[in-house]
Amino acid sequence: MSPPGNIFPETMLRTVSSSASPFFRFFPRSYSSLSPSTAALRGPGRSLRRASSPSSAERRVFLRRGLGVPSAAGRGVNRQFSRLSVRAVATQPAPSYPDVGQDEAEKLGFEKVSEEFISECKSKATLFKHKKTGCEVMSVSNEDENKVFGIVLRTPPKDSTGIPHILEHSVLCGSRKYPLKEPFVELLKGSLHTFLNAFTYPDRTCYPVASTNTKDFYNLVDVYLDAVFFPKCVDDVHTFQQEGWHYELNDPAEDISYKGVVFNEMKGVYSQPDNILGRVAQQAISPDNTYGVDSGGDPKDIPKLTFEEFKDFHRKYYHPSNARIWFYGDDDPLQRLRILSEYLDLFEASPSRDTSKIEPQKLFSAPIRIVEKYPAGRDGDLKKKNMVCINWLLSEKPLDLETQLALGFMDHLMLGTPASPLRKILLESGLGEALVSSGMSDELLQPQFSVGMKGVSEDNVQKVEELIMSTLKKLAEEGFESDAVEASMNTIEFSLRENNTGSFPRGLSLMLQSIAKWIYDMDPFEPLKYTEPLKALKARIAEEGSKAVFSPLIEQFILNNSHRVTIEMQPDPEKASQEEAEEKSILEKVKAGMTEEDLAELARATEELRLKQETPDPPEALRCVPSLNLSDIPKEPTYVPTEVGDINGVKVLRHDLFTNDIVYAEVVFDMGSLKHELLPLVPLFCQSLMEMGTKDLSFVQLNQMIGRKTGGISVYPLTSSVRGKDEPCSKIIVRGKSMAGRAEDLFNLMNCLLQEVQFSDQQRFKQFVSQSIARMENRLRGSGHGVAAARMDAMLNIAGWMSEQMGGLSYLEFLRTLEKKVDEDWEGISSSLEEIRRSLLAKNGCIVNMTADGKSLTNIEKSLEKFLDLLPESPSGGLVTWDGRLPLRNEAIVIPTQVNYVGKAGNIYSTGYELDGSAYVISKHISNTWLWDRVRVSGGAYGGFCDFDSHSGVFSFLSYRDPNLLKTLDIYDGTGDFLRGLDMDQETLTKAIIGTIGDVDSYQLPDAKGYSSLMRHLLGVTDEERQRKREEILTTSLKDFKDFAEAIDVVRDKGVAVAVASAEDIDAANNARSNFFEIKKAL
């Protein structure tokens, strides 16, 4: 999940990416991406398996910063493809908003600094300043019910001990008003939040929350304010040890080890080559200011941090004088100031605002080059695993908004789509497998631009550098094609109009745009007002031509810019074991320097910390955290208006919703006639549709036409079990959107992609395979829990097997074989791609789903009818029976890593268990209590959680960046006993129920509502069943928890375990439990 900057979120797979991505706190949720579109369908279980083609992700355009949503929150950001992210809030126009007069503000201790109506987001924004402390507050009022609060502090570190990151974790572990172990987790359990997180950038820390329920929203705000300003952690060394680092010794005769949540999180980060490259680049490009160190923490440096330094950092920077506070939504703006004044009035002014200022990096007078090593496996040709990346710091001083917009536009033109020239030329060169760390990033004080490749052989490193520079020079000399410029402009303008931030609250995306200037003492309003700069840029392009606009930018900021850093990363199969050996040697010296009394004391302290971690808070402490009542919860689910009709024999679902004149369409084809052996080719078939040309159009022309006429099209497979049926649901979904007046173009282009694209470009297909291999290898290192989950699913049900063939370890093995086959039998592969098309495309079994307002739905029927008329009547070949599964066994997948991903799963329906809504409450409670406390808090893993797929019956346990292996499996096996021994009062139960309803009722934008309705239709989930499950959730009892223990014991007794881990840890596990795992080498 990631906004920008080395950002460390506090949850939701607190994933980390490149140098400009934040660290998030880990929320114990489903291992696969929980899209808003499926959340309402599945409850807290797992989302549908979607193996999306790269094109679907890459086609989303974001204009980085000056106007942009970071590629944000909760999702790992890969800077491989820069994004244009121009986002606005498309709430309905409102005639007026509540006003806070100067007198009212004065009474509460604030002065009104400025006020503007921001037409781009249809909001009235007021900047207040707290007179006593100087704290600035942006209060944004509109009709968006998804209210957002955020408090942001400048937190520049001076070293790589990870102090801002550890503090971000720690302040949420109890506070003055909420003196329990983790109020944050209590909010996870019993809130209706639509966003709850925290993240650490290289120079700032953000604490945002969001909710559509006003009472719930103010509860969240109060807990966060108290946590930030009055945390218990500054007086509690145990929290510092738990979240940061400590020596662990269970017995004086054993070895000492390091433990700590952030310590293990960062070990995971430093196991991923792309992340290492991003960190090296950031620190090399800004060596003289705070960006020259790692705010997240280097595992080698984290153990140097002392508790005194930790406390002092909070005292220095966690003060209202150093804070910027954001409110957004439809709540009362006066009430916002009342809440804040209660906190801010307790403080005097502090110099922290001055001491936290970020000094700009002075530009270099000459380029530099750095060579570093990264940990690699021993398999494969290591000479072809180099990475090279060229990075520029673009400016010493802040850029004006129009220049930023133009640079973002240029970035998109060069790299933003598969047809973009810099990206296309690099990938078609065959010099590397994929782009890495490429694009513009302007979330920090000074913008930077990077472009690089991975999977480069030793002798091609220099050639990649030369090709990057020569291509940039050529683009400066020749400019961009007019069709490319038009396509980019349409994409930007469509994105602005749609303002689709997915499950990420719109108010939070605006906050992150604003804060990117505000945090550096610049105008917080400016980043929200893009209309005039965009109009001016369009006018300049129209008058002077695009070459006159973009060529000087390429020359000034890139070609003639001496602040250039080239990073070469070389694979080193010894590096991981060397680092482990170094750590072991340090710990051996620590132990050797201890007396017997010291060792006994350390063992006692280890046990004392563990006991504290595993002792639940008393009921009276839990009661202090504000929560809702069941009476605050709607008794019925949210219903999406759905009309089921028929056009030319094809079922059509229509959803009449306000979409700001945009049409969303999904065309669904059945995979029931696809031959088994063709299944692994399906993701590449989807990519080929999007990225190969037709008889009359090159893929570049086709890509540009999609950009000019639509808001984007994607094609991807989707599989899921269907409860009560043996046959899985297996579909190909073609998804597109356009302005209502362009619907005919949308369906014409869909038809063109599906029926006219030719599978004839052997070299492009070979690129697709190389890119897919690089992407899968990166997934193994960074999302091993997802790989383990897919593997277990493939052993336990047919849909899981299908999905794993298209996106798991089996798929990676298929790709490696296919890479050789492309040269040997291209004709056969091309023929197979055509066969897939014939077996899928047909009216028979097709379903169309459309979301728009009623008038638009009526107007586009003729275009849809014409599209359907062009489809073949039936697919070629007969129906195929799907019955594949992987053999049941405990499996260890070996990769070079310092942390593990540990899973165990079983099918609870095999015990005769019948689905009850209480299962959603129970699985969420297990994640938020038993697994959070044992796997994360005392075990030291970055995350531990469970997932229940109510469609298949598979119940999975998973851990993320985990220092343990067998110990974690033992915790999973103890879950049944945990449930049997559970003692829960009514308040705790109510919180668990409310938190579950929050998941089920997750906030959705109109396109997601329509898509969710489609998913329910495909899986046979009726509104009656949804109502029944909701009633079962709301009436969950302690008895349900106890009864569920019997069902969950099947995971212990008959489940399969899969771990993605290092060779050393797997060997140790197999020695401790004779050949427990069958070993499979992956990297």
Furthest CA-CA distance within the chain: 85
Give the Cα separation of 203 and 23 in Å (integer). 12
With CA atoms as reference, report the closest residue to 396 among 551, 289, 536: 289
Using an 8 Å Cβ cutoff, are 156 and 353 in contact? no
Count of positions (residues) in the chain: 1083
Let me know the angle formed at the C-alpha of 748 by 746 and 751, rounded to the nearest 5 degrees.
110
Query: What are the CA-CA distances from residue 655 to residues 710, 745, 856, 857, 865 (Å)?
Result: 20, 21, 11, 8, 17
Alpha carbon distance 576, 581 (integer Å): 9
The residue whose two tokens read 């990363």 is: 569
- The H or E element that residue 1024 is part of is helix 1023-1034
Q: What does the alpha-carbon distance between residue 7 and residue 23 come to, in Å, rounded to a whole number?
A: 4
Among 58, 182, 243, 443, the active-site one is 243
Torsion-angle region of residue 81: left (phi > 0), alpha (psi -120 to 50) or beta? beta
CA distance linking residue 251 with residue 321, whole number of Å: 47
Cα-flanking dihedrals φ and ψ of residue 958, to 5°?
Answer: -145, 145
Closest CA to 955 of 920, 994, 983: 920
The CA distance from 1 to 16, in Å, is 7
> What's the token pair of residue 447?
């913008």
| Separation CA 10–CA 172 (nearest Å) | 9
DSSP class of residue 151? E
Q: Is 530 exposed, middle or buried (0-12, 13-18, 19+ CB in 10 A)?
A: buried
Tokens of 79: 């800077």
Helix, strand, or coil here: 190? helix
Distance CA 185, CA 940 (A): 16
Count CB atoms within 10 A of the CB of residue 848: 21
Cα–Cα dist 901/1062, whole Å: 10
Residues 58, 120, 168, 433: which is the catalytic one?
168
Helix, strand, coil share of the chain (percent; to 5): 45, 20, 35
Element (H, E) at 833: helix 826-840
Rounded alpha-carbon distances, angstroms, from residue 952 to 387, 404, 743: 41, 49, 37
DSSP code string of 565-607: EEEEEEEETTHHHHHHHHHHHHHHHHHHT--HHHHHHHHHHHH
Residue 1075: left if φ>0, alpha if ψ -120 to 50, beta else—which one? Answer: left
d(Cα 199, Cα 169) in Å, to the nearest integer? 9
- Helix 461-478 vs helix 546-554: angle between axes, to the nearest 10 degrees? 140
Q: Residues 690, 696, 697, CA angle at the centre, nearest 5°?
A: 40
User: Distance between CA 17 and CA 425 in Å, rounded?
Assistant: 25
Enter the tokens of residue 42. 């599945």
Within 10 angstroms of residue 696's Cβ, the number of other Cβ atoms is 9
498 is catalytic: no
Q: Which amino acid is at 54?
A: P
DSSP per position, 262-277: HHHHHHHHTT-HHHHH
> Quick check: is 168 catalytic?
yes
Strand segments (E) across 884-977: 891-894, 901-907, 943-949, 954-960
The strand pairing partners of 398, in sequence order, are: none
- Catalytic center residues: 168, 243
